[in-house]
């Protein structure tokens, strides 16, 4: 008989009942929570439910494994079952829609703070949507964030995070995980609780400030954790165009500001970027 794909004792399943007790409540942002053994993509499924009226704001959808996970620009994301946290939440942001670009950035700030506190892992933010950890002295991508609109007033926010991914399981050499970064704990239940509570906290601050990232303290917090700032980068834009310069700031709209060698500063929105990489020689 072939081994059961869910029988890895080093990767126990999430406890749906305990997560519900800990996270749901009248005063909580989170209103419902489901854990599934397998889904194609939590973002795709939650967006489908939202469009069909089967899910409301505050829904949390978690998958132990995904068969069609994707990141920004529909890039594939793969990981063994129960090796990480793969979940999406449904939000109805109150601030003006032009400020919604801050939602994935605030999720990055929240996740980094939660992981530092709960797992003891210093997590860097690569603009616009990557979570980086240090493995053997090198920066590795351990997580990603994806926000997608549903209709005119809803937003699905997805987070994927490698927790116990082993070296031999890495999909690419530039990937990493909390375990490989020396996390002091890899129990996914407290990690998930910490991330969701931190997202709720930062989302509340941002909402109270009507989406003003500076007034919410979000802009300085993001800038402090963003490893992209201060580096010379190459921004690949649609149509094969490149923009090379130093990433000098994140502006009030969540755009990265690139300063060319001639001192000209150009803000770039996440939706306009195909890739952002270190410039040659960096």
29-62 pLDDT, tens digit per residue, is 999 999 999 999 999 999 999 999 999 999 999 9
**What are the DSSP calls for the chain, one per residue?**
-PPPTT--TTSPPP-HHHHHHHH-STTSS--EEEEES-BS-HHHHHHHHHHTTS--TTEEEEES-BSS-B-GGG-B----TTSEEEEEEEE---S-GGGTTHHHHHHHHHHHHHHHHHH----EEETTTEEEEEETTEEEEEEEEEEEEETTTEEEEEEEEESS--GGG-SSTTB--TTTTT-S---HHHHHHHHHHHHHHHHHHHHHTTT-TTTTTHHHHHHHHBTTTTSEEEEEEGGGEEEEEEEEEE-TTS-EEEE-TTS-EEEE-GGG-SEEEEPTT-
More confident of the two residues 26 and 281: 26
Per-residue pLDDT at 73:
46
Q: Is the pLDDT of residue 8 over 80?
A: no
Residues 6+ apart with CB under 8 A from 253: 98, 99, 101, 267, 269
Distance CA 62, CA 84 (A): 11
Q: Are 270 and 253 in contact (CB under 8 A)?
A: no
Q: What value does the mean pLDDT take over residues 273-280?
A: 87
Q: Is the pLDDT of residue 78 over 90?
A: no
Per-residue pLDDT at 238:
87
pLDDT digits (tens, 9 = 90+) for 153-192: 999 999 999 999 999 999 889 999 999 999 999 999 999 9
Per-residue pLDDT at 152:
95
Q: How many other CB atoms sit within 10 Å of the CB of residue 192?
A: 25
Per-residue pLDDT at 240:
87
- Please state which CATH number belongs to domain 16-224: 3.30.930.10
Distance CA 50, CA 60 (A): 12
Q: Is the pLDDT of residue 99 over 70?
A: yes
| End-to-end C-alpha distance for the chain, whole angstroms | 51
pTM, two decimal places: 0.93
Give the residue range(s) of CATH 3.30.930.10 domains in the chain. Answer: 16-224
Q: Are 12 and 39 in contact (CB under 8 A)?
A: no
**Burial of residue 223, with CB atoms counted within 10 A of its CB: 0-12 exposed, 13-18 middle, 19 or more buried:** middle
Q: Is the pLDDT of residue 2 over 80?
A: no
**Burial of residue 40, with CB atoms counted within 10 A of its CB: 0-12 exposed, 13-18 middle, 19 or more buried:** middle
pLDDT digits (tens, 9 = 90+) for 131-143: 999 999 999 999 9
Q: Is the pLDDT of residue 204 over 80?
A: yes
Q: What value does the mean pLDDT take over residues 226-246?
A: 94
Per-residue pLDDT at 227:
97
Q: What value does the mean pLDDT take over residues 100-118?
A: 97
CATH classification number, 228-278, choose in 1.10.10.10, 2.30.30.100, 3.30.70.1280, 3.40.50.1010: 2.30.30.100
Per-residue pLDDT at 76:
58
Give the residue range(s) of CATH 2.30.30.100 domains in the chain. Answer: 228-278
Per-residue pLDDT at 239:
87
């Amino acid at each position: 008989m072939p081994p059961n794909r869910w029988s890895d004792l080093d990767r126990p399943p999430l406890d749906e009942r305990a997560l519900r007790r800990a996270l749901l409540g009248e005063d909580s942002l989170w209103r419902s929570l489901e854990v599934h053994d397998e889904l194609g993509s939590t973002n795709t499924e939650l967006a489908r439910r939202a469009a069909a009226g089967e899910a409301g704001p505050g829904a949390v959808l978690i998958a132990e494994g995904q068969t069609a996970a994707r990141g920004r620009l529909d890039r594939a994301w793969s990981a063994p079952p129960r090796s990480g946290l793969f979940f999406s939440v449904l939000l109805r942001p109150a601030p003006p829609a032009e400020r919604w670009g801050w939602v994935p950035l605030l999720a990055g700030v929240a996740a980094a703070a939660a992981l530092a506190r709960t797992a003891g892992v210093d997590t860097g933010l690569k603009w616009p949507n990557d979570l980086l950890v240090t493995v053997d002295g090198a920066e590795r991508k351990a997580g990603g964030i994806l926000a997608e609109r549903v209709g005119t007033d809803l937003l699905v926010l997805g987070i994927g995070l490698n927790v116990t991914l082993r070296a031999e399981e890495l999909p690419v050499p530039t990937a990493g995980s909390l375990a490989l970064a020396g996390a002091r704990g890899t129990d996914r239940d407290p990690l998930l609780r910490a991330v969701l509570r931190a997202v709720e906290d930062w989302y509340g601050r941002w909402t109270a400030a009507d989406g003003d990232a500076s007034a919410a303290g979000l802009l300085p917090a993001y800038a402090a954790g963003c490893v992209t700032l201060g580096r010379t980068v190459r921004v690949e834009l649609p149509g094969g165009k490149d923009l090379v310069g130093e990433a000098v700031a994140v502006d009030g709209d969540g755009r990265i500001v690139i300063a060319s060698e001639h001192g000209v500063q150009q803000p770039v929105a996440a939706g306009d970027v195909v890739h952002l990489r270190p410039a040659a020689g960096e």
